[in-house]
Amino acid sequence: MDEKILVTRSTLPPFEEYCEEIREIWESRWLTNSGVKHQALEQALCGYLGVSNLALCVNGHLALECILETMELKGEVITTPFTFVSTTNAIVRRGLTPVFCDIRPDDFTMDPDLIEPLITENTCAIVPVHVYGSLCNDEAIEKIAQKYRLKVIYDAAHAFGVTKNGKSAATLGDASMFSFHATKVFNTVEGGGAVFRDPALYEALNRRKNFGINGEALVSFGGNAKMNEFAAAMGLCNLRHIDASIASRKEAAMRYRERLSGVPGVQLAAVQPGVESNYAYFPAVFDPEVFGCTRDDVLAALAEHNIAARKYFYPLTSTVAAFGGAHPETETPVAARISRSVLCLPLYEGLGADNADRICDIILALKK
């Protein structure tokens, strides 16, 4: 049996490097609550992402909830159904109503041309997702947001380190959420970050993530969404190796692209002009009419070789009744089609071009 290949594999620093990084934590016994590692990582990430503020959180999901809470949003939020269930969960858990907008067929991000008809007097914000690390059309979204005085909060869980014409994705919109989960390009085991255009909101979020406490004063509502020192230490180590890690992902991604581009019935995410990708995911869309077999057939064929691709993102979150009523897929036909036919192929640091080749051989052998 071939060695198992999963959709992703966590990036880890050298073991000794992490041990050295946590030595100070052991000596000080300061394990959490904004310790030295937390402070150092916030500063390092601001530098890497080119932003003035970044509030570390226990995970990306709670970072998004904290952003929505800190911005005191109420009413309807226009968002995408083609995402990990976290995005919609965060909106609903904050008492907001998700209104689902369809996506663009080429890069799978929210279609700005479809936003305006969804706006009502209750709309307070737009929450698009830089899905797979493909950037949303921020200029078009910003124009609409300004016209209707809406906030824009990006779910940038997949977009760590992505730039457009040299500008960091972290600078887009009123706020962005990043995920530093074990499965992400940059990880702190579990973790996330919140970035605001208005730096005053950074302080406000810091209170929200710490029970609403400022010093010993209780100044707002709040929960507990703080990152601990061991997680921050992992982040400090992983950040030292991030460029090499992305370069390794790129090698495998480029091989996939080389082998699968132009194959009838296989659609790859559009290469976006001016965008420097982080190679977070490698989605491939299979059109059964042309390719000759379905996404599920490809998934099964890979599984026979011990390769676990994943159906990110199926089903559409809009179809889940728990989110205020199930919406028919026909409301967002492009998202429905992509969700039924997309497969994320394995991609991680160290996968290598050889493994990408092997995966392509299996896929291409299925073509009818």
87 binds ligand T4K (CB under 6 A): yes
Q: Near ligand T4K by CB under 6 A, which window of 100-108, 177-185, 270-278, 354-362?
A: 177-185
Out of 98, 161, 173, 192, the only residue in the binding site for ligand T4K (CB under 6 A) is 192
C-beta of 134 vs 291, nearer to ligand T4K: 134
Q: Near ligand T4K by CB under 6 A, which window of 7-15, 203-211, 259-267, 299-307?
A: 7-15
Residue labelled with tokens 């026979």:
304
**Which of 61, 268, 265, 274 shows the shortest CA–CA distance to 168?**
274
C-beta of 181 vs 340, nearer to ligand T4K: 181
9 binds ligand T4K (CB under 6 A): yes
79 binds ligand T4K (CB under 6 A): no
80 binds ligand T4K (CB under 6 A): no
Out of 21, 38, 59, 338, the only residue in the binding site for ligand T4K (CB under 6 A) is 59
Region of 306 on the Ramachandran plot (φ > 0 left; ψ -120 to 50 alpha; else beta): left
* End-to-end CA gap in the chain: 26
**Which of 329, 353, 349, 348 shows the shortest CA–CA distance to 340?**
329
Out of 49, 78, 99, 157, the only residue in the binding site for ligand T4K (CB under 6 A) is 157
Tokens of 269: 């995410």
C-beta of 44 vs 182, nearer to ligand T4K: 182
Q: At what angle do helices 295-304 and 352-364 cross, to 10 degrees?
A: 120
Considering only residues 120 through 139, tell me which ones interact with ligand T4K, judged by CB under 6 A.
Answer: 129
Report the Cα 154 to chain-centroid distance in Å.
9
207 binds ligand T4K (CB under 6 A): no
3-state secondary structure of 152: strand
Tokens of 145: 């947001």
**Which of 26, 18, 37, 48 shows the shortest CA–CA distance to 228?**
37
**Which of 240, 206, 245, 203 shows the shortest CA–CA distance to 223?**
206
Q: How far is the CB of 304 from ligand T4K (least distance, A)?
A: 17
C-beta of 119 vs 299, nearer to ligand T4K: 299
* Total number of residues shown for the chain: 368
Contacts with ligand T4K, residue ranges (CB under 6 A): 6-10, 59-61, 83-84, 86-87, 129, 155, 157-158, 179, 181-183, 192, 308, 312
